[in-house]
Amino acid sequence: MKNCRKWDPLDPDDVEFGRYERALIDVENEMQRQDDKWGPQDHPDIVWLAVLTEEVGEVAKEILERRSGGGFDLRKELVQVAAVSVQWLMAMERAERGEQFKVPLS
């Protein structure tokens, strides 16, 4: 891709790596917040889809509210979409292996 800068995940001074790391940390923190709030989350796919769709809807709401001068939580809402997506991926793997959610050791 032209003008596409390749970043180096092993270079701690790489600006794009910093952005990547910040995004992942935000997603991890949101996943922890969701675990604390909702407890174990092993749902059927249709429930995960409903949860994810609700979160995507909140992203759309933020964008529309920005157009009218509000909506300052777009990043937060996008992090929630990513966190729910990762939670769903992890739940799928647990289901495939016949495992249950385990609360992480703190």
Tell me, by CB under 5 A, how many residues bind Mg ion: 4
Instruction: Identify which range of 7-15, 64-72, 77-85, 88-96 contacts Mg ion by CB under 5 A.
Output: 77-85
Give me the least distance between CB of 36 and Mg ion, in Å please. 16
Three-state SS string over the chain comes to CCCCCCCCCCCCCCHHHHHHHHHHHHHHHHHHHHHHHHCCCCCCHHHHHHHHHHHHHHHHHHHHHHHCCCCCCHHHHHHHHHHHHHHHHHHHHHHHHCCCCCCCCC
Give me the least distance between CB of 46 and Mg ion, in Å please. 19
| 87 makes contact with Mg ion (CB under 5 A) | no
Please, which of residues 22-51 interact with Mg ion by CB under 5 A?
Answer: none
Return the residue of 30, 48, 55, 83 that touches Mg ion, per CB under 5 A.
Answer: 55
Give me the least distance between CB of 90 and Mg ion, in Å please. 19
